[in-house]
Amino acid sequence: MRISVSSDMTSGVAGKLVAELESRGHEVLTHGALSPEERDDWAWASEAAARDVADGRADQAVVCCWTGTGASIAANKVPGVRAALCADAYTAQGARRWNDANALALSLRVVSEPLLGEILDAWFAGAASEEPDDRANVAHVDGIAAQPSAR
C-alpha cells in the first residue's frame, strides 16, 4: 500500500513512523517536518498528506501532530478523507471497520513506540465493513461537506 505520512515535528514516533511502515512493506510519501523544504505547520502538513489520498497518490495517510487533533481536523476538511484520531488499538480497529477511515491521526505526545506497533497492527488488519448500514453511514459522511444543511 502507498501511505502518505505527515508531521509537524520529528519528535516522538514521527521519527520511527516511516521506517515502521516501510518494514511492513508499504511505500511511504512524506510531508511537513518529514520532508525537506515543505512547510511543517500541522495544518499544511496534514492537508498535503490528505490530498495525496483524495487525489489518488496514496491509498491511506498517517497524519501526526503533538496532540493529533489539528492533524485530524485538517485532514477531515479534504473531501473524501475520513481521518480518525486513534490513541489505542481498539479505536484504530473500529475506525477501519465502521468508519472506513483512510487517514490515521496520531499524537506524537501520547503514542509510544510499542503503542504505535499495536495501533498499526489493528489499523492494517482491519477491513471496512460491507454491512449496508455501515456503508450508508460512510457514504453520508462523504456527502456532508458537499451539501447545504438540510435542517
Minimum Å gap between C-beta 76 and ligand R5P is: 13
The answer to whether the Cα torsion of 141, 135, 57, 32 is positive or negative is positive
Residue 58 or 71: the one with the smaller Cβ distance to ligand R5P is 71
With CB atoms as reference, the residue minimizing the distance to ligand R5P is: 70
Minimum Å gap between C-beta 147 and ligand R5P is: 27
Binding site for ligand R5P (CB under 6 A): 8, 41-42, 65-67, 69-70
Residue 6 or 102: the one with the smaller Cβ distance to ligand R5P is 6
The answer to whether the Cα torsion of 136, 128, 93, 57 is positive or negative is negative
Residue 69 or 136: the one with the smaller Cβ distance to ligand R5P is 69
Residue with cell 513506540: 113
Residue 38 or 41: the one with the smaller Cβ distance to ligand R5P is 41
Minimum Å gap between C-beta 131 and ligand R5P is: 33
CB burial readout 116-135, b (16+ within 10 A) else e: bbebbebbbebebbeeeeee
Neighbour tally for 109: CB within 10 Å:
15
